[in-house]
Amino acid sequence: MLIVTKVRCEYKENPIGISLVAPRISWQLLSDIRNCIQMAYRIQVSKNADFHTILWDTGTSTSSQSIHVQLTGLHLQPKLRYYYRVKVWDQSGAESAWSSRAFFETGLENPQLWPAQWICAPAVQDMGHSPRMRKFVNIDKAVRSARIYATALGLYELHLNNQRVGDQYFTPGWTSYGKRLQYQSYEVTDMLKKGSNVLGALLGDGWYKGYLGWKNDKAMFGTRTALLLELYIQYEDGTEDQFMSGPGWESSISAIVSSDIYMGEIYDARLEREWTDSDGWIPADIIHYRKDIIVAQENVPVLQQEQLKPIALFQTPQGDTVLDMGQNMVGWLRFAIQGSPGQKVELEHAEILDAEGNFYRDNIRNAAQRIVYTLRGNGLEQFEPHFTFQGFRYVRLTGFSDKIQLDHFIGVVLHSNMERTGHFECSSPLVNQLHHNILWGQKGNFLDVPTDCPQRDERLGWTGDAQMFVRTASYLMNTAPFFTKWLRDLKADQTAEGGVPFFIPNLKESFSSGWGETDHSSAAWGDAATICPWTMYEMYGDTLLLQEQYESMKKWVSYIQEQGDNPYLWNTGFHFGDWLALDSEPGSYVGSTDIAYIATAFYAYSVSLTQKAAVVLGKTEDSEQYRSLHTKIVEAFQNEYVTASGDISIATQTAQVLALRFGLIQGSARERAIQKLEELLHDAGDHLKTGFVGTPYLNPVLSECGNNKLAYKLLFQKDYPSWLYQVTKGATTVWEHWDGIKEDGSFWSADMNSFNHYAYGAIGEWLYRYVAGIGPDENNPGFKVVHIHPHPGPGLEWAEASIKSMYGDIISSWRKTTDHKMTVSISVPANTEGVVILPGAQRTELLEGVIPAEQADGVKRIEAVEQGVRLVLGSGAYHFVYPQSHT
């Protein structure tokens, strides 16, 4: 059996509206034999679903490549659907059937020359209400296909014949609006009818015009919301029509009195009108706004992902009626209500209750997170918001009758539509809850951009948080298209000198003033420019993205090089340091690890990643240049921070961790740093004191450096500060502070105390890569070679993880049995190879199933190594058993 499955175009299943650049195709293989390797493939492309006429054909191409195969030489036409299919041959010559038919569809030929015109509400209507735009379209022929191409300044929601178009939310997404603006494409063939059709759009302020940041700023990108749209129809007789935004469109106010991402939504149902009603419509204004920034949609859309039922409705000691969703979530509440005309109800959202059990929202700061709904009063009414989202677990209800019930409310979870790829489970319920919290932190903060938090007056694409969590995020979900879009905004917002703003998309310059000398480009934050592209390359084998971002990577390291008198140390400027570390003076956010030490360490790391990128991209001269630069930075680092006795001069946990993780010390100095790190941890009662910068690397360094037991001890600590402390306090997402809730039930300062902040969730990478043991190979990226090296430790009897890689499902599961055996079950996808280390195993006692491992089919090589036994495996499922006494 040889089957081609999961055929995708640019990571997506049957995308529409892609750009006219030749796309890349990926697929997976299923085989019932071990050691299955693709030897050749064939791709055909046609305009016909039955492939009657072939436009493009690779023929039999001898290659094992099955991801990111670019359709080079295929000249794409705009607004056209292309069908494609794939077949393969394996090493035995077996030939698969054709894959299931798939398609991609192109969008606009040249968005910059789009003849549609920008329209907006006249000034008399632009008074806070979300405006409505409409046009009547008459159709007198049979429709073969119809598409809408649309974008907006602000947010938009399309309607056609009184039905909502599509399932996307917060379109056109948040980009660097002055430089990039996405348009979306919609299939609307079945929504049209013969005769009169009414095409409409609601507009919202969104990130473009609404509140943004913690300084109560509004309209950072513009002061008027506007719509740009085309309805493109192909008729059965071969003719076509285009209906553009412009003259003939009308505008009116909507029932949305106000809608803001931070503040919430005020809705007056008495103002609802059908799209065909005649009252209140006046000609829309046509405005002149640039189109040269418009690009086809790159991101994965924000969708309604799941629905949660509340678990409790109760009265607080202060007498508030509060709904408990049971989960800190991001999205909104859908509710049903019946009442009298003009009756108002109010919903306020918060993450936590105080120590007395009362509703608490001080940590939300200036973000109102409030829904106000005025009833029309004609029976049962249902409502959910349009252009806002909330981060919450608890909802305070005001104005509702005493008869409200739990089943009147549904929590709607919204986030970017990334495929869930990672699953982890182990014998510890507390660790499983931690993994749950990490996952929900990603759900809540990956809403079109990777935000720091989803609830207070911030919700910004902080670069530091993103790079700290990107590795964990990419185990949990397929983040490639998500980060592709975000990194293009990073490149667009990068300064002329190469500096990287604190958050992407960047805000207006005055917002960031007051930080320091440059107001941007902190070490470990700006390094997202190198760390995130390299992570995408490692996890997904995406060479094209690496190539796209390469100049940005170079600009970043050049920027650092120019910051001081010494081009090999970064000891100038503002830096966030080891943010929120616990080893500094009370009230300090920065941590006690010297900021220049951190800056130089990350400087070296970014140069090393840029050098690796140069190798991948075949840029030999650049590679040698960066290799030399890295050597000089490491030398300068050692001269500056390593004493004559070989000790690191800064005695913090984070200082040791960074030097070890980034390879900045060798030999005896490395051994002394390992010992010092262990000493510092023991001095802290085997607890961490690291902040945002050190925490992601702490447990990986311990496991890599031979102290896996101490890594496990840190994991299993339940008192402050630790990961499980939050879990024992009832957390359902990861907190911003190790002690967001203190032992006595009081809170850390409300100035900055998010309970959904994924940075410390970076421990997730360690769970997958070390506890379960699944890791990529930078020389064979995208898991073309799968590394599996479980690290069992005290406190766990078993652990298992799986990830859906570009090639297929990877599984690693280990278990200590009651008869003192260790069992390790592994699955390696077809067309890949596995390099496995079984800890504590001995070659002579290792079984695969019931036979000696070295005799098992698919085992290519086997050898004894210091850690146990190392095997090279062909694809397939394996079950290894060996005595546990050697672990």
The 8-class DSSP code of residue 448 comes to S
- CA distances, 38 to each of 41, 96, 106 (Å): 8, 10, 30
Query: Is pLDDT above 60 for 518?
Result: no
| Nearest Cα to Cα of residue 89 among 38, 28, 33 | 38
Q: In 653-807, where do the E strands start and end? A: 774-775, 785-788, 798-804
Task: Please state, for a pLDDT cut of 90, what percent of the chain lies above it.
Answer: 95
Q: At what angle do helices 667-683 and 708-716 cross, to 10 degrees?
A: 30
Taking the C-alpha atoms of residue 40 and residue 848, their distance in angstroms, rounded to an integer, is 30
Q: Looking at the structure, do residues 97 and 245 belong to the same domain, yes or no?
A: no
- Three-class SS string for 521-542? CCCCCCCHHHHHHHHHHHHHCC
Say whether both 99 and 117 belong to one domain. no
Is the torsion defined by CA of 507, 508, 511, 515 positive or negative?
A: positive
Q: How many helices (H) and strands (E) does the chain have?
A: 14, 48
130, 234 Cβ separation under 8 angstroms:
no
- Give the sign of the dihedral formed by CA 49, CA 51, CA 57, CA 60: positive
**Token digits of residue 343:** 């009756």
The CA-atom distances, in angstroms, between 555 and each of 257, 497, 530, 560 are 45, 7, 10, 9
Same-domain pairing of 121 and 252 = yes
CATH code of residue 102: 2.60.40.10
Number of other residues whose CB lies within 10 A of the CB of residue 75: 9
What does the pLDDT read at residue 887? 45
Quote the longest CA-to-CA distance of the chain: 88
Classify 473 in phi/psi space as left (phi over 0), alpha (psi -120 to 50) or beta: alpha
Half-sphere exposure of 547 (CA within 13 A, CB side): 8
- Taking the mean position of all CA atoms in its chain, how far away is CA 830? 27
Same domain, 16 and 151: no
Q: Determine the residue type at 432.
A: N
Going from the C-alpha of 351 to that of each of 142, 449, 753, 757, the distances in angstroms are 52, 21, 10, 12
Considering the domain architecture, whether residues 84 and 193 belong to the same structural domain is answered as: no
ω into residue 172 within 30 of 0, thus cis?
yes
Q: Tens digits of per-residue pLDDT, 347-399?
A: 999 999 999 999 999 999 999 999 999 999 999 999 999 999 999 999 999 99
DSSP 292: T
Query: How many residues does this entry show for the chain?
Result: 887
Give me 415's structure tokens.
């986030």
Domain presence at residue 472: no
448 located within any domain? no
Mean pLDDT of 436-444: 99
Tell me the pairing of strands 785-788 and 833-839. Answer: parallel
Same domain, 166 and 49: no
Same domain, 191 and 61: no
pLDDT of residue 513: 57
Q: Exposed e or buried b for every residue in 202-221, given b needs 16+ CB within 10 A?
A: bbbbbbbbbbbbbeeeeebb
Query: What is the spatial order of strands in the sheet that 868-873 belongs to?
Result: 774-775, 785-788, 833-839, 868-873, 859-865
Query: Is residue 91 domain-shared with residue 125, that is, in the same domain?
Result: no
Burial class (CB in 10 A: 0-12, 13-18, 19+), 736: buried
Query: Does residue 458 carry a catalytic annotation?
Result: yes
- Whether 726 has a pLDDT exceeding 60, the answer reads yes
- 78, 106, 134 - which closes a domain: 106
- Provide the pairing of β-strand 163-164 with 155-160: antiparallel
CA distances from 515 to 249, 456, 518, 596 (A): 46, 20, 8, 16
Determine the pLDDT at residue 122: 95
Residue 126: what pLDDT? 74
DSSP 220: S
pLDDT single digits (tens) 64-77: 999 999 999 999 99
Query: What are 166-207's pLDDT values in tens digits?
Result: 999 999 999 999 999 999 999 999 999 999 999 999 999 999
Residue 698 inside a domain? The answer is: no
Query: Could you report the per-residue pLDDT of 703-719, keeping only the tens digit for each?
Result: 999 999 999 999 999 99
Tokens linked to 467: 């790079």
Residue 260 has pLDDT above 90, yes or no: yes
Residue 514 pLDDT grade (very low, low, confident, very high; cuts 50, 70, 90): low
Using 50, 70 and 90 to split pLDDT, how confident is the model at 519? low
Q: Shortest CA distance to 786 belongs to which of 778, 794, 777, 795?
A: 777
Element holding 640 (H helix, E strand): helix 620-641
Give 3-state DSSP helix, strand, coil % of the chain, rounded to 5. 25, 30, 45
Give the chain's end-to-end CA distance (angstroms, integer). Answer: 38
Quote the CA–CA distance of 715 and 433 in Å, as a whole number.
13
> 778-802 burial by CB neighbour count: b if 16+ within 10 A, else e?
eeebbbbbbbbbbbbbeebeebbbb
| 87, 128: one domain | no
Torsion-angle region of residue 73: left (phi > 0), alpha (psi -120 to 50) or beta? left
Tokens of 666: 């060798």
Pair 100, 141 in one domain: no
289 is a domain residue: yes
Tell me 440's DSSP state: H
Report CA Rg, the chain. 28
Which CATH number fits the domain that encloses residue 137? 2.60.120.260
The answer on pLDDT for 517 being more than 60 is no
Beta strand ranges found along 642-797 (DSSP E): 774-775, 785-788
In three-state secondary structure terms, 842 is coil
Band of residue 886 on the pLDDT scale cut at 50, 70, 90: very low
Residues 851-871 have pLDDT tens digits of 999 999 999 999 999 999 999
- Of 256, 284, 299, the one marking the end of a domain is 299
121 and 255 together in one domain: yes
Per the domain annotation, does 726 fall within a domain?
no
Cα dihedral 213, 216, 221, 225 in deg (nearest 10): 120
CA distance 36 to 1: 11
Residue 430 CB-half CA count within 13 A = 16
- Residue ranges of alpha helices (H) inside 528-594 are 528-540, 543-561
**Nearest CA among 872, 705, 869, 882 for reference residue 786:** 872
pLDDT-based confidence at 743, cuts 50/70/90?
very high
CB neighbour list of residue 772: distance below 8 Å, 6 or more residues apart: 424, 790, 799, 800, 801, 812, 813, 814
Tell me the two tokens of residue 124.
Answer: 């008399």
Distance CA 158, CA 201 (A): 4
Is 736 known to be catalytic? yes
Share the mean pLDDT of the chain: 97
Structurally, how many domains does the chain consist of?
A: 3
Q: Is residue 533 part of a domain?
A: no
Q: What are the phi and psi torsion angles at 353 (to 5°)?
A: -105, 155
Domain-ending residue, one of 299, 317, 350: 299
| Domain that includes residue 253, residue range | 111-299
- Give the tens place of pLDDT for each residue, 623-665: 999 999 999 999 999 999 999 999 999 999 999 999 999 999 9
For 456-502, the three-class secondary structure string (H helix, E strand, C coil) is CCCCCCEHHHHHHHHHHHHHHECCHHHHHHHHHHHHHHCCCCCCCCC
Q: Is residue 550 part of a domain?
A: no
**Number of CB atoms found within 10 A of residue 685's CB:** 8
Q: Residues 118, 84: one domain? A: no
The 3-state DSSP class for residue 408 equals helix
In a domain, residue 668? The reply is no
Catalytic residue of the set 10, 458, 538, 833: 458
Q: How confident is the model over 307-336, as pLDDT tens digits?
A: 999 999 999 999 999 999 999 999 999 999
The strand pairing partners of 810, in sequence order, are 803
Residue 471 contacts residue 774 (beta carbons within 8 Å): no
Q: Where do we find the tokens 């306020």? A: 348
CA distance 696 to 694: 6
- Domain of 872, CATH number, reads 2.60.420.10
Residue pair 604/596 in contact (Cβ under 8 Å)? The answer is no
pLDDT at 216: 87
479, 418 in Cβ contact below 8 A? yes
